[in-house]
Amino acid sequence: MTELTQQKCEACRADAPKVTDEELATLIKEIPDWVPHVRDNIMQLEREFKFRNFKLAMEFAIKVGNMAEEEGHHPAILLEWGKVTVTWWSHSIKGLHKNDFICAAKTDKLFD
Ligand SMILES: C[C@H](O)[C@H](O)[C@H]1CNC2=NC(N)=NC(=O)C2=N1
């Protein structure tokens, strides 16, 4: 399988398929630090990133935002002192699409 970080987000319409439980089980192995959880009845991928201060956290949040703009796929980003919480899901399908796993993998790469 092509590494998630080598893939691009594709246009995701309301009728695009959500990832199945089987696909989730396979894809999550590539992004083991992300936790799938349900919020407002929508499956999402979430990870906390820790930093030494606010500025480093803010710079990371900006990098994630710039990557999201390039991909045309946008996360929720919570910026706090020393911490950034990134949450990916696909609004149009109210769930997880392959795009979310691609973007989660790209987020990990920005942190390395
Ligand atoms: C028109 C625009 O491309 C769409 O609204 C995109 C923008 N970014 C998006 N981001 C996410 N996470 N889910 C979407 O469904 C989504 N839709």
Q: What are phi and psi of 89, to 5 degrees?
A: -160, 170
Predicted local distance difference test score (pLDDT) of residue 65: 98
Q: CB of 97 closer than 6 A to ligand 1? A: no
Helix residue spans in the chain (DSSP H): 21-27, 54-71, 98-111
Residue with tokens 């990133």: 49
Whether 112 shows a pLDDT value over 80: the answer reads no
**All domains of the chain in start order, with CATH:** 42-112 (3.30.1360.20)
Q: Is the CB of 92 within 6 Å of ligand 1? A: yes
- For ligand 1, atom 6, the nearest C-alpha belongs to 73
Q: Global pTM?
A: 0.95
- Closest atom, ligand 1, to C-alpha of 99: 12
93 Cα nearest atom in ligand 1: 15
Average per-residue pLDDT for the chain: 96
Give the model confidence (pLDDT) of 13-58 as tens digits.
999 999 999 999 999 999 999 999 999 999 999 999 999 999 999 9
Buried b or exposed e, range 59-89, using 16+ CB within 10 angstroms: ebbeebeebbeebebebebeeeeeebebbbb
Structure tokens at 20: 């199945």
